A and B are shown apart, each in its own frame.
Chain A
Amino acid sequence: MTTRKNQATLTAEEKRRFVDALIALKRSGRYDEFVTTHNAFILGDTDNGERTGHRSPSFLPWHRRFLLEFERALQSVDSTVALPYWDWTADRTARSSLWAPDFLGGTGRSRDGRVMDGPFAASTGNWPINVRIDGRTYLRRSLGSAVRQLPTRAEVDSVLAMSTYDMAPWNSASDGFRNHLEGWRGVNLHNRVHVWVGGQMGTGVSPNDPVFWLHHAFVDKLWADWQRLHPNSAYLPAAGTPNVVDLNETMKPWDDTTPAALLDHTPHYTFDAA
Protein backbone atom coordinates (compact mmCIF):
# COMPACT_ATOMS: atom_id res chain seq x y z
CA MET A 1 0.00 0.00 0.00
CA THR A 2 1.29 3.45 -0.92
CA THR A 3 1.68 5.91 1.94
CA ARG A 4 2.03 9.56 0.97
CA LYS A 5 4.22 11.38 3.48
CA ASN A 6 4.84 14.97 4.38
CA GLN A 7 7.97 15.94 2.42
CA ALA A 8 9.48 17.46 5.57
CA THR A 9 9.66 14.00 7.17
CA LEU A 10 11.37 12.11 4.33
CA THR A 11 14.68 10.42 5.04
CA ALA A 12 17.74 11.16 2.91
CA GLU A 13 17.24 7.75 1.29
CA GLU A 14 13.58 8.48 0.44
CA LYS A 15 14.52 11.84 -1.10
CA ARG A 16 17.25 10.25 -3.18
CA ARG A 17 14.96 7.51 -4.50
CA PHE A 18 12.21 10.02 -5.35
CA VAL A 19 14.64 12.29 -7.21
CA ASP A 20 16.22 9.38 -9.06
CA ALA A 21 12.80 8.12 -10.18
CA LEU A 22 11.87 11.60 -11.46
CA ILE A 23 15.06 11.83 -13.47
CA ALA A 24 14.54 8.34 -14.89
CA LEU A 25 11.02 9.27 -16.02
CA LYS A 26 12.38 12.47 -17.54
CA ARG A 27 15.06 10.61 -19.45
CA SER A 28 12.54 8.12 -20.82
CA GLY A 29 10.26 10.86 -22.18
CA ARG A 30 7.31 9.80 -20.04
CA TYR A 31 7.62 12.79 -17.74
CA ASP A 32 7.06 15.27 -20.56
CA GLU A 33 3.86 13.50 -21.62
CA PHE A 34 2.37 14.57 -18.29
CA VAL A 35 3.41 18.18 -18.90
CA THR A 36 1.82 18.08 -22.37
CA THR A 37 -1.45 16.65 -21.05
CA HIS A 38 -1.68 19.26 -18.31
CA ASN A 39 -1.10 22.16 -20.68
CA ALA A 40 -3.68 20.83 -23.13
CA PHE A 41 -6.32 21.00 -20.41
CA ILE A 42 -5.09 24.40 -19.17
CA LEU A 43 -5.60 25.73 -22.70
CA GLY A 44 -8.88 23.95 -23.26
CA ASP A 45 -10.76 24.39 -19.97
CA THR A 46 -12.91 27.55 -20.17
CA ASP A 47 -15.49 29.11 -17.86
CA ASN A 48 -18.23 29.13 -20.48
CA GLY A 49 -17.28 25.99 -22.41
CA GLU A 50 -16.17 22.47 -21.72
CA ARG A 51 -14.11 22.34 -18.53
CA THR A 52 -12.60 19.28 -16.91
CA GLY A 53 -9.16 19.68 -15.36
CA HIS A 54 -9.52 23.19 -13.97
CA ARG A 55 -12.05 25.87 -13.00
CA SER A 56 -14.71 23.23 -12.55
CA PRO A 57 -15.96 20.68 -9.99
CA SER A 58 -13.75 17.97 -11.49
CA PHE A 59 -10.57 19.97 -10.69
CA LEU A 60 -10.11 17.75 -7.62
CA PRO A 61 -10.89 14.26 -9.03
CA TRP A 62 -9.09 15.11 -12.30
CA HIS A 63 -5.87 15.98 -10.46
CA ARG A 64 -6.32 12.96 -8.16
CA ARG A 65 -6.31 10.67 -11.19
CA PHE A 66 -3.51 12.65 -12.87
CA LEU A 67 -1.32 12.23 -9.76
CA LEU A 68 -2.22 8.54 -9.53
CA GLU A 69 -1.06 8.02 -13.11
CA PHE A 70 2.15 9.88 -12.33
CA GLU A 71 2.76 8.00 -9.10
CA ARG A 72 2.27 4.67 -10.88
CA ALA A 73 4.81 5.76 -13.49
CA LEU A 74 7.29 6.58 -10.70
CA GLN A 75 6.61 3.19 -9.10
CA SER A 76 7.32 1.43 -12.38
CA VAL A 77 10.85 2.82 -11.96
CA ASP A 78 11.13 2.27 -8.19
CA SER A 79 8.32 0.47 -6.41
CA THR A 80 9.25 2.00 -3.04
CA VAL A 81 8.49 5.56 -4.15
CA ALA A 82 5.30 7.43 -3.20
CA LEU A 83 4.39 11.03 -3.91
CA PRO A 84 5.24 13.25 -0.94
CA TYR A 85 3.09 16.27 -0.14
CA TRP A 86 4.18 19.84 0.63
CA ASP A 87 2.20 21.45 3.43
CA TRP A 88 2.86 25.03 2.38
CA THR A 89 1.08 26.35 5.49
CA ALA A 90 3.90 24.86 7.59
CA ASP A 91 6.97 24.93 5.33
CA ARG A 92 6.43 28.44 4.07
CA THR A 93 9.82 29.97 3.34
CA ALA A 94 12.58 29.51 0.77
CA ARG A 95 14.70 28.17 3.67
CA SER A 96 12.55 25.03 3.98
CA SER A 97 14.39 21.73 3.53
CA LEU A 98 12.15 21.20 0.48
CA TRP A 99 14.33 23.67 -1.41
CA ALA A 100 17.70 22.28 -0.27
CA PRO A 101 20.22 20.98 -2.83
CA ASP A 102 19.58 17.36 -1.78
CA PHE A 103 15.91 17.61 -2.73
CA LEU A 104 14.30 20.10 -5.15
CA GLY A 105 16.99 22.80 -5.18
CA GLY A 106 16.33 26.45 -4.40
CA THR A 107 15.03 29.61 -5.98
CA GLY A 108 16.29 31.04 -9.28
CA ARG A 109 19.02 33.62 -9.63
CA SER A 110 17.76 37.17 -10.00
CA ARG A 111 19.04 37.82 -13.52
CA ASP A 112 17.00 35.20 -15.37
CA GLY A 113 15.24 33.07 -12.74
CA ARG A 114 17.48 30.08 -13.48
CA VAL A 115 17.63 27.44 -10.72
CA MET A 116 21.34 26.96 -9.98
CA ASP A 117 21.43 24.10 -7.48
CA GLY A 118 19.84 20.74 -6.80
CA PRO A 119 19.13 17.76 -9.09
CA PHE A 120 16.92 19.75 -11.49
CA ALA A 121 19.27 22.63 -12.22
CA ALA A 122 19.88 22.96 -15.96
CA SER A 123 23.63 22.60 -15.43
CA THR A 124 23.17 18.95 -14.43
CA GLY A 125 21.95 18.11 -17.93
CA ASN A 126 19.23 15.95 -16.35
CA TRP A 127 16.29 18.31 -16.57
CA PRO A 128 15.76 19.92 -19.99
CA ILE A 129 12.52 21.90 -20.26
CA ASN A 130 11.14 20.49 -23.51
CA VAL A 131 7.39 21.19 -23.28
CA ARG A 132 7.49 24.95 -23.06
CA ILE A 133 5.70 28.14 -24.04
CA ASP A 134 8.81 30.24 -24.56
CA GLY A 135 12.35 29.72 -25.72
CA ARG A 136 13.91 29.07 -22.32
CA THR A 137 14.99 25.47 -21.74
CA TYR A 138 16.06 25.75 -18.07
CA LEU A 139 14.01 25.34 -14.89
CA ARG A 140 13.12 28.70 -13.37
CA ARG A 141 11.76 29.79 -9.99
CA SER A 142 11.29 33.02 -8.11
CA LEU A 143 10.19 31.89 -4.66
CA GLY A 144 8.08 34.49 -2.90
CA SER A 145 8.60 37.35 -5.34
CA ALA A 146 5.30 37.65 -7.26
CA VAL A 147 3.32 37.12 -4.05
CA ARG A 148 4.94 37.46 -0.64
CA GLN A 149 3.07 34.97 1.52
CA LEU A 150 1.95 31.41 1.14
CA PRO A 151 -1.51 30.64 2.56
CA THR A 152 -1.70 30.29 6.33
CA ARG A 153 -3.23 27.42 8.28
CA ALA A 154 -6.05 29.76 9.34
CA GLU A 155 -6.82 30.53 5.69
CA VAL A 156 -6.85 26.82 4.87
CA ASP A 157 -9.17 26.15 7.81
CA SER A 158 -11.55 28.88 6.63
CA VAL A 159 -11.88 27.08 3.29
CA LEU A 160 -12.14 23.60 4.84
CA ALA A 161 -15.10 24.95 6.84
CA MET A 162 -17.16 25.46 3.66
CA SER A 163 -19.71 22.66 3.64
CA THR A 164 -20.88 22.87 0.02
CA TYR A 165 -18.55 21.10 -2.43
CA ASP A 166 -19.23 23.34 -5.43
CA MET A 167 -21.96 25.61 -6.77
CA ALA A 168 -23.41 26.87 -10.04
CA PRO A 169 -22.12 28.22 -12.38
CA TRP A 170 -19.50 25.48 -11.70
CA ASN A 171 -16.56 27.60 -12.84
CA SER A 172 -14.09 30.26 -11.63
CA ALA A 173 -17.00 32.42 -10.40
CA SER A 174 -18.42 29.74 -8.08
CA ASP A 175 -18.81 29.96 -4.34
CA GLY A 176 -18.16 26.83 -2.28
CA PHE A 177 -15.22 24.64 -1.24
CA ARG A 178 -13.79 23.63 -4.64
CA ASN A 179 -13.35 27.12 -6.06
CA HIS A 180 -12.01 28.57 -2.83
CA LEU A 181 -9.47 25.74 -2.63
CA GLU A 182 -8.60 26.17 -6.32
CA GLY A 183 -8.22 29.89 -5.61
CA TRP A 184 -10.16 31.81 -8.24
CA ARG A 185 -12.25 33.27 -5.44
CA GLY A 186 -11.62 34.26 -1.82
CA VAL A 187 -8.38 33.90 0.16
CA ASN A 188 -6.84 31.94 -2.75
CA LEU A 189 -5.05 28.72 -1.82
CA HIS A 190 -3.95 26.55 -4.79
CA ASN A 191 -3.47 29.30 -7.38
CA ARG A 192 -1.48 31.45 -4.97
CA VAL A 193 1.06 28.67 -4.36
CA HIS A 194 1.71 28.39 -8.11
CA VAL A 195 2.33 32.15 -8.21
CA TRP A 196 4.55 32.09 -5.08
CA VAL A 197 6.89 29.52 -6.66
CA GLY A 198 7.06 31.43 -9.96
CA GLY A 199 8.96 30.33 -13.05
CA GLN A 200 7.30 27.49 -14.96
CA MET A 201 5.02 26.86 -11.94
CA GLY A 202 3.18 30.09 -12.81
CA THR A 203 2.42 28.90 -16.34
CA GLY A 204 0.32 26.31 -18.14
CA VAL A 205 3.35 24.00 -18.23
CA SER A 206 3.66 24.04 -14.43
CA PRO A 207 4.40 20.27 -14.11
CA ASN A 208 7.85 21.06 -15.52
CA ASP A 209 8.76 21.83 -11.90
CA PRO A 210 8.71 18.66 -9.76
CA VAL A 211 7.19 20.70 -6.91
CA PHE A 212 3.94 20.61 -8.94
CA TRP A 213 3.35 17.04 -7.71
CA LEU A 214 4.07 17.87 -4.05
CA HIS A 215 1.78 20.91 -4.23
CA HIS A 216 -1.07 18.93 -5.77
CA ALA A 217 -0.56 16.01 -3.39
CA PHE A 218 -1.27 18.47 -0.56
CA VAL A 219 -4.29 19.97 -2.36
CA ASP A 220 -5.51 16.38 -2.75
CA LYS A 221 -4.97 15.75 0.97
CA LEU A 222 -7.01 18.88 1.76
CA TRP A 223 -9.89 17.38 -0.24
CA ALA A 224 -9.64 14.22 1.90
CA ASP A 225 -9.51 16.37 5.05
CA TRP A 226 -12.62 18.24 3.87
CA GLN A 227 -14.49 14.97 3.29
CA ARG A 228 -13.75 13.88 6.84
CA LEU A 229 -14.99 17.22 8.17
CA HIS A 230 -18.18 17.07 6.08
CA PRO A 231 -19.19 13.41 5.79
CA ASN A 232 -22.66 14.36 4.59
CA SER A 233 -21.48 16.70 1.81
CA ALA A 234 -21.36 15.18 -1.66
CA TYR A 235 -19.58 15.91 -4.91
CA LEU A 236 -21.70 18.24 -7.03
CA PRO A 237 -23.26 18.51 -9.56
CA ALA A 238 -25.08 15.20 -9.53
CA ALA A 239 -26.35 15.05 -13.11
CA GLY A 240 -27.34 16.84 -16.29
CA THR A 241 -24.90 19.76 -16.32
CA PRO A 242 -23.71 20.88 -19.77
CA ASN A 243 -19.90 21.22 -20.21
CA VAL A 244 -19.30 20.02 -16.64
CA VAL A 245 -18.35 16.54 -15.36
CA ASP A 246 -21.23 15.30 -13.22
CA LEU A 247 -20.74 12.73 -10.45
CA ASN A 248 -21.14 9.68 -12.68
CA GLU A 249 -19.82 11.01 -15.98
CA THR A 250 -16.46 9.88 -17.34
CA MET A 251 -13.52 12.27 -17.40
CA LYS A 252 -11.18 13.03 -20.27
CA PRO A 253 -8.51 12.11 -21.19
CA TRP A 254 -8.94 8.67 -19.57
CA ASP A 255 -12.64 8.17 -20.35
CA ASP A 256 -12.67 5.16 -18.00
CA THR A 257 -13.24 6.81 -14.63
CA THR A 258 -15.72 9.15 -12.97
CA PRO A 259 -15.61 11.57 -10.02
CA ALA A 260 -17.68 8.98 -8.12
CA ALA A 261 -14.93 6.38 -8.59
CA LEU A 262 -12.29 8.74 -7.19
CA LEU A 263 -14.01 10.10 -4.09
CA ASP A 264 -12.30 7.53 -1.84
CA HIS A 265 -8.51 7.69 -2.05
CA THR A 266 -7.90 4.78 0.34
CA PRO A 267 -7.98 1.99 -2.28
CA HIS A 268 -4.98 3.70 -3.87
CA TYR A 269 -2.96 5.32 -1.06
CA THR A 270 -3.17 6.59 2.48
CA PHE A 271 -1.59 9.56 4.17
CA ASP A 272 0.99 9.50 6.94
CA ALA A 273 -1.25 11.58 9.23
CA ALA A 274 -4.81 12.83 9.41
Chain B
Amino acid sequence: MPDITRRHALGAAAALAVTVGAPLTAAAADGHRSHEEHGGHDGHQDLQAFDEVYRGRLIQGHATEGGGHHHGAGYAVFVDGAELHVMRNADGSWISVVSHYSPVPTPRAAARAAVDELQGARLVPFN
Protein backbone atom coordinates (compact mmCIF):
# COMPACT_ATOMS: atom_id res chain seq x y z
CA MET B 1 0.00 0.00 0.00
CA PRO B 2 2.52 2.59 -1.15
CA ASP B 3 0.07 5.47 -1.09
CA ILE B 4 -0.92 4.87 2.51
CA THR B 5 2.74 4.72 3.40
CA ARG B 6 3.22 8.06 1.73
CA ARG B 7 0.25 9.49 3.61
CA HIS B 8 1.63 8.18 6.86
CA ALA B 9 4.97 9.78 6.15
CA LEU B 10 3.35 13.09 5.34
CA GLY B 11 1.15 12.80 8.40
CA ALA B 12 4.17 12.28 10.60
CA ALA B 13 5.80 15.33 9.06
CA ALA B 14 2.67 17.36 9.68
CA ALA B 15 2.57 16.17 13.29
CA LEU B 16 6.15 17.33 13.72
CA ALA B 17 5.26 20.68 12.22
CA VAL B 18 2.42 20.98 14.68
CA THR B 19 4.72 20.36 17.62
CA VAL B 20 7.06 23.08 16.45
CA GLY B 21 4.45 25.42 15.08
CA ALA B 22 1.69 25.44 17.67
CA PRO B 23 3.35 27.77 20.20
CA LEU B 24 4.30 30.17 17.40
CA THR B 25 0.73 30.09 16.15
CA ALA B 26 -0.61 30.92 19.58
CA ALA B 27 1.87 33.77 19.97
CA ALA B 28 1.06 35.16 16.55
CA ALA B 29 -2.64 35.05 17.25
CA ASP B 30 -2.17 36.84 20.56
CA GLY B 31 0.09 39.49 19.11
CA HIS B 32 -1.78 40.19 15.90
CA ARG B 33 -5.46 40.11 16.62
CA SER B 34 -6.05 42.28 13.57
CA HIS B 35 -5.48 39.17 11.46
CA GLU B 36 -8.88 37.98 12.59
CA GLU B 37 -10.48 41.05 11.08
CA HIS B 38 -8.81 40.63 7.71
CA GLY B 39 -9.76 37.00 7.23
CA GLY B 40 -8.10 34.48 4.95
CA HIS B 41 -6.07 35.19 1.87
CA ASP B 42 -8.97 34.56 -0.48
CA GLY B 43 -11.33 36.75 1.49
CA HIS B 44 -13.77 33.98 2.43
CA GLN B 45 -15.33 34.81 5.74
CA ASP B 46 -14.98 31.23 6.98
CA LEU B 47 -11.24 31.24 6.39
CA GLN B 48 -10.71 33.84 9.10
CA ALA B 49 -8.36 32.86 11.88
CA PHE B 50 -9.84 32.22 15.30
CA ASP B 51 -8.46 31.76 18.79
CA GLU B 52 -10.75 31.20 21.75
CA VAL B 53 -11.43 29.08 24.78
CA TYR B 54 -14.53 26.96 24.24
CA ARG B 55 -15.83 24.78 27.09
CA GLY B 56 -12.43 24.90 28.72
CA ARG B 57 -10.43 23.97 25.61
CA LEU B 58 -8.19 26.31 23.59
CA ILE B 59 -9.32 26.12 19.98
CA GLN B 60 -7.41 27.85 17.19
CA GLY B 61 -7.60 27.95 13.43
CA HIS B 62 -5.78 29.70 10.63
CA ALA B 63 -5.20 29.47 6.93
CA THR B 64 -2.02 27.62 6.01
CA GLU B 65 0.62 29.09 3.72
CA GLY B 66 -0.11 28.54 0.08
CA GLY B 67 -2.77 25.95 0.82
CA GLY B 68 0.08 23.50 1.24
CA HIS B 69 -1.62 21.37 3.87
CA HIS B 70 -1.19 17.80 2.71
CA HIS B 71 -4.89 17.05 2.33
CA GLY B 72 -5.59 20.31 0.60
CA ALA B 73 -7.72 21.99 3.28
CA GLY B 74 -5.57 25.13 3.22
CA TYR B 75 -6.56 25.59 6.83
CA ALA B 76 -5.34 24.13 10.11
CA VAL B 77 -7.30 23.73 13.35
CA PHE B 78 -5.88 22.97 16.80
CA VAL B 79 -7.43 21.84 20.10
CA ASP B 80 -5.13 22.58 23.04
CA GLY B 81 -2.26 22.76 20.56
CA ALA B 82 -2.88 19.36 18.93
CA GLU B 83 -3.92 19.49 15.29
CA LEU B 84 -7.45 18.44 14.45
CA HIS B 85 -7.66 17.05 10.93
CA VAL B 86 -10.28 19.11 9.08
CA MET B 87 -11.54 19.06 5.52
CA ARG B 88 -13.53 21.48 3.39
CA ASN B 89 -16.40 20.09 1.36
CA ALA B 90 -17.14 21.23 -2.18
CA ASP B 91 -20.16 23.25 -0.95
CA GLY B 92 -17.93 25.19 1.50
CA SER B 93 -19.00 23.28 4.62
CA TRP B 94 -16.47 21.62 6.93
CA ILE B 95 -15.92 18.31 8.69
CA SER B 96 -13.24 16.97 11.01
CA VAL B 97 -11.96 13.48 11.68
CA VAL B 98 -13.79 13.61 15.03
CA SER B 99 -17.13 14.43 13.38
CA HIS B 100 -16.63 13.12 9.91
CA TYR B 101 -20.16 12.53 8.63
CA SER B 102 -21.81 15.72 9.88
CA PRO B 103 -20.83 18.91 7.99
CA VAL B 104 -20.90 22.30 9.73
CA PRO B 105 -20.57 25.80 8.19
CA THR B 106 -17.10 26.91 9.37
CA PRO B 107 -13.78 25.58 10.73
CA ARG B 108 -14.64 27.18 14.09
CA ALA B 109 -17.89 25.22 14.18
CA ALA B 110 -15.91 22.05 13.38
CA ALA B 111 -13.53 22.81 16.25
CA ARG B 112 -16.42 23.40 18.65
CA ALA B 113 -18.12 20.18 17.48
CA ALA B 114 -14.86 18.35 18.15
CA VAL B 115 -14.66 19.78 21.69
CA ASP B 116 -18.26 18.67 22.31
CA GLU B 117 -17.45 15.19 21.06
CA LEU B 118 -14.13 14.86 22.89
CA GLN B 119 -15.69 15.44 26.35
CA GLY B 120 -12.30 16.49 27.67
CA ALA B 121 -10.22 13.79 25.95
CA ARG B 122 -6.95 14.80 24.28
CA LEU B 123 -6.44 14.49 20.55
CA VAL B 124 -3.91 11.95 19.32
CA PRO B 125 -1.69 13.32 16.50
CA PHE B 126 -3.03 11.96 13.24
CA ASN B 127 -0.89 9.83 10.94
B71 at the interface (CB under 8 A from A): yes
Q: How large is the interface on A (under 10, 10 to 19, 20 to 34, 35 or more residues)?
A: 35 or more
Are A252 and B3 neighbours in the complex by a CB distance under 8 Å? yes
Query: Which residue of A48, A136, A169, A190 contacts B121 across the interface (Cβ within 8 Å)?
Result: A136
Which of B4, B7, B99 is close to A202, meaning CB atoms less than 8 Å apart? B99
Whether A49 pairs with B89 at a CB distance below 8 angstroms is: no
> Cα distance A255–B15 when bound, in Å?
28
Chain B residues positioned under 8 Å from A112 (CB to CB)? 119
Quick check: B71 and A40 within 8 Å, CB to CB?
A: no
Q: Is the CB of B97 within 8 A of A133?
A: yes
Taking the closest CB of chain B, its distance from the CB of A39, in whole angstroms, is 8
Q: Which of A46, A172, A190, A206 contacts B72 (CB under 8 A)?
A: A46
Whether the pair B8, A202 counts as a contact (CB closer than 8 A) is no
Is B42's CB within 8 Å of the partner chain A?
no
Any A CB within 8 A of the CB of B122: yes
Q: Which residues of A contact B91 (CB under 8 A)?
A: 172-173
> Could you say which residues of chain A place their CB within 8 Å of the CB of B85?
43, 133, 204
Contacting residues of chain B (72-123) with chain A, CB-CB under 8 angstroms: 72, 85, 87-91, 97-103, 117-119, 121-123
Q: Is B124 an interface residue (CB 8 A)?
A: yes
Query: Which residues, 176 to 214 on A, are CB-close (under 8 Å) to B?
Result: 183-184, 190-192, 194-195, 202-206
Q: Quick check: B100 and A42 within 8 Å, CB to CB?
A: yes
B-to-A contact residues, CB < 8 Å: 1, 3-4, 7-8, 11, 71-72, 85, 87-91, 97-103, 117-119, 121-124, 126
Q: Which residues of B sit under 8 angstroms from A42, Cβ to Cβ? A: 97, 100
A191/B101 in contact, CB under 8 A: yes
| In contact, A203 and B98 (Cβ under 8 angstroms) | yes
Q: Is the interface of A mostly helix, strand, loop or mixed?
A: loop
Please give the residue numbers on chain A whose beta carbons come within 8 Å of chain B beta carbons, in ascending order.
37, 39-40, 42-44, 46-49, 112-113, 132-136, 146-147, 169, 171-173, 183-184, 190-192, 194-195, 202-206, 252-253
Q: Top 6 closest A-B pairs, CB basis?
A: A173-B90, A253-B1, A191-B101, A194-B101, A47-B90, A204-B97
- Contact B102 A253, beta carbon cutoff 8 Å: no
Q: Say whether, besides A146-B102, A172-B90, A206-B100, A134 and B71 are in contact (CB < 8 Å).
A: no
* Known contacts A113-B119, A135-B121; A44/B101 CB under 8 A: no
Chain B residues positioned under 8 Å from A46 (CB to CB): 71-72, 87
Q: Within 8 Å CB of A204, what residues of B?
A: 85, 97, 100
**Of listed B1, B88, B100, B103, residue having the most chain A CB within 10 A:** B100
What is the CB-to-nearest-CB distance from A223 to chain B, in angstroms, rounded to a whole number?
18
In the complex, are the beta carbons of A134 and B122 less than 8 A apart?
A: yes
Residues of B within 8 A of A133 (CB): 85, 97-98, 123-124, 126
Determine if A135 and B89 form an interchain contact, defined as CB atoms under 8 angstroms apart.
Answer: no
Q: Which single residue of chain A is at the shortest CB-CB distance from B118?
A: A134
27 contacts between A and B (CB under 8 A): A37-B1, A37-B4, A39-B97, A42-B97, A43-B7, A43-B85, A43-B126, A44-B3, A48-B72, A48-B90, A132-B124, A133-B126, A134-B124, A135-B121, A147-B102, A169-B90, A183-B101, A192-B101, A194-B100, A195-B102, A202-B98, A202-B99, A202-B100, A202-B101, A203-B117, A252-B1, A253-B1
